[in-house]
Structure 1
Amino acid sequence: MMKTLPAQQMDSAVVGRDFLASIVVFLVALPLCMGIAIASGAPPALGLITGIIGGLVVGSLAGSPLQVSGPAAGMAVLVFQLVSDHGLIMLGVVGLIAGALQLLAGAMRLGQWFRAISPSVIHGMLAGIGVLIFASQFHVMLDDAPRSGGLANLAAIPEAIIKVFPADGSVHHLAAMAGIITIVTIIGWNKFRPKSLALLPGPLLGVIVGTLFALAFALPITLVALPANLTDALNIPTMEALSGALDTEILTLGIVFAFVASAETLLCATAVDKMHIGARTNYDKELRAQGIGNMICGALGALPMTGVIVRSAANVEAGATTRISAIMHGAWLLLAVVAFPFVLNEIPTAVLAAILVYTGYKLVNVAQIRKIAEFGKQELAIYFVTLFGVVAIDLLTGVILGFVLATLKLVYTFSHLSIDVAHDPETNRADVLMTGSATFFSIPQLSAALDKAPRGSEVHIHVEKLDYIDHACLEMLSSWEKLHQSTGGSLIVEWNDLVQRYGRRSGDPAKTSIASLMQRPAA
């Protein structure tokens, strides 16, 4: 017989697993929170504040218990552009707008609709973000300043590589060494880590090794700057900044932030649901929790948050079973910032940038491109148009381009009809094969094809490759059938092709006319 543990022992076992999982998530989140903040053009402390709120607040309210929230690489490009154009003080204002919109959307039960986006657009967006992060953080990894845009960062990479070779007393080569050692450590650890240390995350080990390397050789490179008191890092919006909330450009950015953060969060929640067999996500509740979290982040001037897949996956893989692990990881982040800022201040920015370079590379998922290609060239075109738009123009434009292309593909699919007509003079029989969707758009094309059938011939309509036919086409076929019968011909629909799809109807299906079809309800 199976032995059942007492409820008290089961509760303690659950808490124990969640406790260990929270440590793992904390170790993954710590370097990423600071690295994403630097990639966003913001102080590292603002990324840590977002991680703390994502754990303590959103973890307590989340509709996806095992999802972990915090600053996301996918938002870094948007935040960087906002900070560059409007200053760091407006970050909180946009965060307040985005959070309020998310809260409203959750209250209106719009959570499911944020998932109604073509996967090709989403993956193209993530790949574009990956390229932008890789290109910008490549320069930071060399203790150099990123350029003004994505294409400029990509174009300047050869120049940055040349700087690695010491010439005029610069330290670019020293920062590069620390960054390369960090990346090599992450890759090597992910590939060769022993099973006994499987829970030790590669990014954390990379930070430790890269930092120790810089300390051992006393490298004169830029280090992380955290304030001794966390309250000194707050970026609370001023009244003047809040008065700019009604500015059209700021409102637009708030809407974009809300849309991108919500889409990324809910797609992440869907992925997390596939990783475990526990409670499923309540999308509206998750959206409301994210809205509250982003409003708090906005009030403090911290980075915006989303559900993040790397930390969430680490949470599930570490054995978490309840929301306790996500909440506790926020507590560990708070403890680290309050009690050990002097330790974090020894981390070189080049090391954190190296983690983001690796993250950007991973976002351009080659395996995912191959998977999308299996669904046809059209899906691949949507993916690359979105990617190019994000990199060459901006994130919103790239997503809009991808969405428009996906919509056009959908319209084409539901309006495209291919018609082949074959006539056998010996039997005076014409076979009409229709492929695709027959709608009122197709009536001129269908009429022209039927007119090719000789007068008095026996016309057979083949429908096995037809996805859809609307009432307008059925009426047109009915009218044409009567006209063709007046010349001594007949029109026969090959119903046997549809037996498996719609079920056999009463009577002889081979002799059923279009007119009788229009009078019968669909099976």
Structure 2
Amino acid sequence: MTSQLERSSPPTKRMPGASFFGADLGASLVVFLVAVPLCVGIAAASGVPVELGILTGIVGGLVVGLMPGSSIQVSGPAAGLTVLVASAVHQHGLAMLGVIVLGAGLIQVLLGLAKLGTWFRAISPAVVQGMLAGIGLVIILGQIYPVGGLEQPDTTVAKFTGLGELASAMVNTPAGQSGLGLAVLALLIMAGWKRLVPAPVNLVPGALVAVVVASAAAFALDLPVKKVEVGSLLGALNTPDLGAFGSIDFAVVGSMITFALIASAESLFSAAAVDRMHDAPKTQFNKELVAQGAGNTICGVFGALPMTAVIVRSAANVQAGAKTKASRVMHGAWLLLFVVLLPGVLGFIPLAVLGALLLQAGWKLLELKSLVQLARENRSEAAIVVFTAVMILATDLLVGTLAGLAVAVVKTAIEVSRMHVRAEHTDEHVRLELGGNATFLKLPHLLEHLEELPSDKHVHLDMTTVRHLDRACHQAVESWVDEHRRNEGSVEVAMPAKVG
């Protein structure tokens, strides 16, 4: 009897927590392997010690990873902020970086508490795409110089004018030839890894494989290339002192606001994209903005790089099977252990290989395939993307983005201000019917039609179907009616029910 009861008993179920932990543990290791070369490469491209990039990744995992907002997306230093950081360090010095990042974090916290997080989704997608494409162009134009063994010029003009010298260095100098070869090797590995290597081996990030293989080749062949300079994590801390806070001026405040807005937009757009990839609870945008702000505040205290939610790491987290926020917290713990126990490993990485890593990141930000598709569907939107990207390349990130936003607003205003005019002529009178939105943008078009009306016929001006009549057009119509009647013309006007 006992054995029969035992055979009929239901099988023991595994606790969901255990299965989730196994999935999150595996995902955290994958995200850690993705994060290491990116943290190092972004810090090097930003002109700061590489330890500060890893420190930002640690804060993104251990601090932001524990906070409410999003459960799956992963935070850390982002290629999209490289241009901002490099510009801020060049303009204000490394000592002010912590102050700027701390201020940006506090602004993000205030924006989240004011429940303004969801408003970031109202930004024109074309402007955002143009912003990312512009950042991609700046990254590409800058990172080809480390590949050739040269220092990156400070200005966009100098980067263009220095291309001839760069090409010569790649062809004629041992450092340039070696750097070019290593970069090509790394790019080929990253491009073909997922396609050529079977599962489950291809779960190892291609970027990590490229860095390991190219660095090993540089070491084995004793190539004359510059390599990452590594110190201790504690020694790299860039905590701002009281004197730095006393140096805050309008330019520094402007940098804080720029960092906060760009980092917030990138994080929340990333959240919207990542939410479509998984079935876990969706992002609470205002709470996520507070979490990002708290992370940047702590990064500012340490003088580290600013952080955002990063789509590359977040997508890797989803694809590796993460179930809860534990995966992103553990990835931060692995980063901490790595920089404490194995910091010397970073010193084997050539700067040309990191340049190749960022060249690929910049190329992805361009999204040329998406731009071509957009141009086929909506040329004006594609024009905004191109205009924003070119303005960022020609000026800077803030000016270029604001210029793109201004063009997007004007385009929307023109499209919204569509007004149709229809005229019916008889022997004795003219009926002019207006419809749509009569705004100041259509004022020249409206006056042109009114001035063409004959003065010897009775005019019936029907505006009852106008949805919106602004003050400029209203005053223009009243002025024309008064003038028409002074010239002994007969006019009758039917105004819309509501005048704006």
**TM-score with structure 1 length normalisation?**
0.83
Give the deviation of 1:294 after TM superposition: 0.6
Deviations 1:226-275 (A, max 9, x none): 22x3211111112222221x311111111111111111111111111111
Q: Give the 3 Å change call, closer, same or farther, for CA 82–446 of structure 1 in structure 2.
A: closer
Give the deviation of 1:42 after TM superposition: 0.7
| Percent of residue pairs identical | 40
| Alpha-carbon distance between aligned partners in 1 of 2:11 and 2:126, rounded to the nearest angstrom | 47
Q: Which residue of 2 aligns with 1:402?
A: 404
Q: Give the 3 Å change call, closer, same or farther, for CA 176–416 of structure 1 in structure 2.
A: same
Q: Which residue of 2 aligns with 1:114?
A: 120
| Alpha-carbon distance between aligned partners in 1 of 2:188 and 2:440, rounded to the nearest angstrom | 60
| Alpha-carbon distance between aligned partners in 1 of 2:63 and 2:330, rounded to the nearest angstrom | 11
Deviations 1:112-171 (A, max 9, x none): 12222111111111111101111111111222100012332233233212111235xx42
Deviations 1:263-319 (A, max 9, x none): 111111111111112211111111111111111111111100011111111111111
Counterpart contact for 1:50–1:305, Cα < 8 Å: yes
In the alignment, does 2:241 pair up with 1:238? Answer: yes
Residue segments in structure 1 that go unaligned for 5+ positions in a row? 492-513
* Among 292, 303, 306, the residue aligned to 1:304: 306
| Alpha-carbon distance between aligned partners in 2 of 1:62 and 1:77, rounded to the nearest angstrom | 29
Give the deviation of 1:413 after TM superposition: 2.1
Matched position secondary structure for 1:146: coil
Q: Give the 3 Å change call, closer, same or farther, for CA 396–5 of structure 1 in structure 2.
A: farther
Q: Give the 3 Å change call, closer, same or farther, for CA 9–173 of structure 1 in structure 2.
A: same
The aligned runs of 1:39-438 (5 Å cut-off) are 39-167=45-173, 170-227=174-231, 229-244=232-247, 246-374=248-376, 376-421=378-423, 434=435, 437-438=437-438
Matched position secondary structure for 1:195: coil
Deviations 1:431-455 (A, max 9, x none): 8585x53347657855764775995
**Which residue identity is paired with 2:55?**
I
| Alpha-carbon distance between aligned partners in 1 of 2:168 and 2:47, rounded to the nearest angstrom | 24
Counterpart contact for 2:112–2:286, Cα < 8 Å: yes
Give the deviation of 1:13 after TM superposition: 1.2
**Which residue identity is paired with 2:197?**
R
Mean Cα deviation higher: 320-329 or 149-158: 149-158
Q: Give the 3 Å change call, closer, same or farther, for CA 133–440 of structure 1 in structure 2.
A: closer
Give the deviation of 1:10 after TM superposition: 1.7
How much is the aligned-residue C-alpha RMSD, in angstroms? 3.2
Q: Give the 3 Å change call, closer, same or farther, for CA 182–424 of structure 1 in structure 2.
A: farther
| Alpha-carbon distance between aligned partners in 1 of 2:320 and 2:192, rounded to the nearest angstrom | 20
Counterpart contact for 1:52–1:331, Cα < 8 Å: yes
| Alpha-carbon distance between aligned partners in 2 of 1:343 and 1:313, rounded to the nearest angstrom | 26
**Which residue identity is paired with 1:58?**
V
| Alpha-carbon distance between aligned partners in 2 of 1:84 and 1:403, rounded to the nearest angstrom | 26
Mean Cα deviation higher: 209-218 or 24-33: 209-218
**TM-score with structure 2 length normalisation?**
0.87
Q: Give the 3 Å change call, closer, same or farther, for CA 272–141 of structure 1 in structure 2.
A: same
Q: Give the 3 Å change call, closer, same or farther, for CA 443–145 of structure 1 in structure 2.
A: closer
Q: Give the 3 Å change call, closer, same or farther, for CA 79–444 of structure 1 in structure 2.
A: closer
Give the deviation of 1:104 after TM superposition: 1.1
Q: Give the 3 Å change call, closer, same or farther, for CA 10–31 of structure 1 in structure 2.
A: same
